[in-house]
Amino acid sequence: MIEARGLGLTFETADGPVHALRDVSLAIGKGDFVSFIGPSGCGKTTFLRVAADLEAPTAGTITVNGMSPAQARQTRAYGYVFQAAGLFPWRTIGGNVRLPLEIMGYGRAERAASGMIGIRPAFFRIL
């Protein structure tokens, strides 16, 4: 669930302020399916970056699952997939999928026990 009220984000540049988001208000409920559609540069990704705590709003408020974006990120209350794939070509598919668990400090046994990858290792060799 995401709720934004009067959300704004202005970037200060050498050429002056750029208003990436201005007075955005919306409520997305549990189970809602939402698409952000618009031309390049209209703020779609910027809004998602604010919700994911990757950018800080300069106006208004936003909550994610009833908490601030920072709290939601710290408690891992959501998942976020970037527009462009960030795969490392020297890692296997499984290695790329397991990378977030490694970054978060999970040991090899914990990663294996997590059940995050339910695909047999032979599948990775096929791809």
Tens digits of per-residue pLDDT, 44-101? 989 999 999 999 999 999 999 999 999 998 888 887 766 666 788 888 877 877 777 7
Do 44 and 38 contact (CB within 8 A), yes or no? yes
Q: Which residue has the higher pLDDT, 100 or 122?
A: 100
The CATH number corresponding to 2-74 among 3.40.630.90, 3.40.50.620, 3.40.309.10, 3.40.50.300 equals 3.40.50.300
Of 19, 24, 20, the C-alpha closest to 7 is 24
Q: Where are the domains of the chain?
A: 2-74, 93-126
pTM of the model: 0.67
Q: For residue 123, what pLDDT is reported?
A: 42
Calpha distance 99→15 (Å, rounded): 39
Question: Mean pLDDT score of the chain, rounded to an integer?
Answer: 83
